[in-house]
Every structure is written in structure tokens, then in C-alpha cells.
Amino acid sequence: MPSCNTKTRYSSKKMAQDYADSYNRDPLVKEILATYWCELHQGWHLTRDKPRNIGWFRRIQELIDKVSGHTES
């Protein structure tokens, strides 16, 4: 059973992604947020991923930086 009944549901991926992006930008954050579609609630949820996934996280961060025009720090 999905355990997402109490999770926030976002009606659009953009809303969820915007929140996740701003959250993930925090250099002090120990976990990162990723979006996923929930069939049960017909909406988007955020899930926390551990830093072991730092590989794809960095790739995503690079994409975000490209999109937002930020230079790598």
C-alpha cells in the first residue's frame, strides 16, 4: 500500500518541482526532494532521497543551473 495519504499533493508537476528545486538549492540540506506521480491521489508528491543518489542529483542540479542561467560555483 502506498503510504502517501498524509503527503502534500500538488496538482501540477511544476508546483511540486518548484518546491523541490528551492528546497534542493539549500546547500545545508541533507536530503533532496524528488517529484513522483501518484495514481492513487492523481497528483504529484514529493519524496526524500538520501545523498547516496548524489550522482543523479548533481546531474539534475546541473540541468537546473543551465535552465536558470546560473554559473557553476
Does 60 participate in binding Zn ion (rule CB under 5 A)? no
Does 13 participate in binding Zn ion (rule CB under 5 A)? no
Shortest gap between Cβ of 3 and Zn ion (angstroms)?
A: 9
* Residue type, position 43, single letter: G
In terms of Cα–Cα distance, which of 27, 14, 15 is closest to 57? 27
* Residue type, position 15, single letter: M
Per-residue x/- marks for Zn ion, 30-59, CB under 5 A?
--------x-xx------------------
Look up cell 492513487; give the residue: 40
> Using CB under 5 A as the criterion, which residues of the chain lie in contact with Zn ion when the complex forms?
4, 38, 40-41
